[in-house]
Amino acid sequence: MTPDPFRPDLSRLGAATRLVHGGTQRSHHGETSEALFLTSGYVYDDAEQAEATFAGTVEHYQYSRFANPTVAMLEQRLCLIEGAEECRTTATGMAAVNAALLSHLKAGDRVVAARALFGSCHWIVSTLLPKFGIEAEFVDGADLAQWQAALSRRTDLVLLETPSNPMLELVDLPAVAELAHVAGAIVVVDNVFATPLLQQPLKLGADVVVYSCTKHIDGQGRVLGGAVLGRGKWINDVLQPFIRNTGPALSPFNAWVLLKGIETLALRVDAASRTAATIADVLARHPGVTRVWYPMRADHKQQALARRQMSAGGTVVTFEVAGGKDGAFQVMNRLQLIAVSNNLGDSKSLATHPATTTHMRIGEQERARLGITDGAIRLSIGLEDAPDIEQDLRQALCVPPARMSGLAANGP
C-alpha cells in the first residue's frame, strides 16, 4: 500500500480532481476503485515486527480503532480538500465535535461559543462541559461587540458554526479568530453548512474544522460520519491520544461509502447551491412567504460578509410563512416532492420545521433569541430539477380556493 510515485502533486490540482483522486492508495491488485479493508485487526510477519510496530520504529497498521487503510484514504482526501495538515475521522459528526472539545479542554478552562449551534453541540457546551468544571459563555455570533466582550478574558476554546442552522446567520471568521487568539483560545469551526468547497475556515484564521460527514460529504443519506481537521501537531499530540483511547472510530465500511460520496461533492454542492439560490429568489417573490434567509441575497443582513468568506450561499434556504406553526405545517403537509425530514445535505430535497423538531428542546426563549419563529421552514435543497422543486413549493404555498372562498373545494 504505497501511493503511486508517478502521481502528480494533488495539492496543486483543482478541487474536483482532489475529490476524485486524493488519498488513494492501491493495493498490489491495482484496483481502480478504493479498496474496502473491512478488518478490525492486522497480522505481523513475526513477533519482532509486532514489537517494532508497538515501539514505533516500524510503520504497520495495528488495530482499526487507531487506524485503517480505507479510513486513512478518506482522511487524506479530506486533508487535501480542506488544505489541512492532518485529519481524523469519527463515527458521527457529534463524535468529532466531542473529541475536538474534550481532547483540548480541562477543568478550569473557559469556552466561548456562538449561541446558534447545532442542538447537540449546544448541549455539550451548555450541559456537559460545566459538569467537568469548564466554564461556558454564549454570544450572538453575528455581534462582534459580544465576541469582543466575551473574549476580553482569558479563554481556551471558541466554538462556532457559520452559516448557522437554521437561520443562516454568519460569523465573521477572521475578526473572531483574531480576538480569540489574543485571548489565548483555539477556534473550532463547525463547517457543515458551507462544506469544504464553499468556505475554508483554516484559511480565514480557524485552528480546527469539524464536519458531520453524514451531510454533504455522503450526500446521499446513507451513513453517519465525522471529521476533525487541523495542524499536524495538534491532531497528533492532542486529538489522536483521545481518539485512540476513547474509541469513536469510523467504520471502514462507512469510510468507503464516504470516499465514493465525496468523489461527486463538487458536482452536488454546485448544483444544489445554484438551485437553492434560485429557490430563495422564487420564495422571496412569493406572496405566501413573509421572509427568506439565504446568505448571498441582497436582503441578508450579512451579504457583504457572505461574499468575503464564502464562494456561494450553500444548499439550505430558510423561509417563513404567515400563520405560525399551523401555517408552516399546512405548507409542509402539502409538499409532494420535498420530503418532511430533520436531516439535510441529501440528494433529496427535505423540509424541516425547526421549532418543533431540531430546535424543540432549546425552549421558546432561546428560539426567540435565535430568531427561529413558529412559521419558519428550513429547506435542504437536493439534486432534483430546479423547476420541479419550485413547482412543489408553489403548489404547497398556494392557498386552496376552498379556504379563500369558503366553498367546498370540489364543487360549484
Ligand X SMILES: *Cc1c(COP(=O)(O)O)cnc(C)c1O
d(CA 388, CA 352): 19
Q: In angstroms, give the least distance from the CB of 226 to ligand X.
A: 6
**Selected binder of ligand X within 82, 169, 190, 263 (CB under 6 A):** 190
Q: In angstroms, give the least distance from the CB of 92 to ligand X.
A: 3
- Compare residues 121 and 276 and give the one whose CB is closer to ligand X: 121
- Compare residues 22 and 93 and give the one whose CB is closer to ligand X: 93
End-to-end CA distance of the chain: 74
Q: What is the DSSP string of 335-393?
A: -SSSEE-S--S-SS-EEE-GGGTTTSTTHHHHHHHHT--TTEEEEE--SS-HHHHHHHH
Q: In angstroms, give the least distance from the CB of 100 to ligand X.
A: 11
Q: In angstroms, give the least distance from the CB of 306 to ligand X.
A: 17
Q: In angstroms, give the least distance from the CB of 161 to ligand X.
A: 5
**Relative orientation angle of helices 252-262 and 69-82, to the nearest 10 degrees:** 40
d(CA 222, CA 38): 18
Q: Which of residues 215-234 bind ligand X (CB under 6 A)?
A: 215, 224, 226
By CB under 6 A, residue 248 contacts ligand X: no
Q: Which of residues 106-125 bind ligand X (CB under 6 A)?
A: 118, 121
Q: Which of residues 73-102 bind ligand X (CB under 6 A)?
A: 92-94
Q: In angstroms, give the least distance from the CB of 34 to ligand X.
A: 21
Q: Which of residues 133-152 bind ligand X (CB under 6 A)?
A: none
Contact pattern from residue 158 through residue 177 relative to ligand X, giving x for each residue in contact according to CB under 6 A and a dash for the rest: ---x---x------------
Q: HSE of 137 in the Cβ direction (CA atoms, 13 Å)?
A: 17
Inter-residue contact 151 to 186 (CB < 8 Å)? no
Contact pattern from residue 283 through residue 322 relative to ligand X, giving x for each residue in contact according to CB under 6 A and a dash for the rest: ----------------------------------------
User: How many residues of this chain interact with ligand X, rule: CB under 6 A?
Assistant: 14
Q: Nearest residue to ligand X, using CB? A: 93
Q: In angstroms, give the least distance from the CB of 399 to ligand X.
A: 32
- Compare residues 327 and 354 and give the one whose CB is closer to ligand X: 354
**Selected binder of ligand X within 103, 162, 212, 380 (CB under 6 A):** 212
Q: Which residue has the cell 468556505?
A: 199
- Compare residues 64 and 98 and give the one whose CB is closer to ligand X: 98
Inter-residue contact 193 to 161 (CB < 8 Å)? yes
- 13 three-class SS: coil
d(CA 412, CA 403): 14
The residue range among 22-30, 134-142, 207-215, 390-398 that interacts with ligand X, by the rule CB under 6 A, is 207-215
The residue range among 3-11, 53-61, 209-217, 265-273 that interacts with ligand X, by the rule CB under 6 A, is 209-217
Inter-residue contact 43 to 37 (CB < 8 Å)? no
d(CA 222, CA 119): 21
From the centroid of its chain, how far is CA 106?
25
**Selected binder of ligand X within 185, 192, 271, 292 (CB under 6 A):** 192
Q: In angstroms, give the least distance from the CB of 358 to ligand X.
A: 9
Q: What separation in angstroms does the CA of 289 have from each of 58, 107, 323, 357?
A: 63, 48, 11, 21
Q: Which strands sit side by side in the sheet containing 208-212, from one edge to the other?
A: 86-90, 226-230, 208-212, 186-190, 157-161, 110-114, 135-139
- Eight-state DSSP code of residue 236: I
226-230 and 339-340 beta bridge pairing: unpaired
Positions touching ligand X (CB under 6 A) are 92-94, 118, 121, 161, 165, 190, 192, 212, 214-215, 224, 226
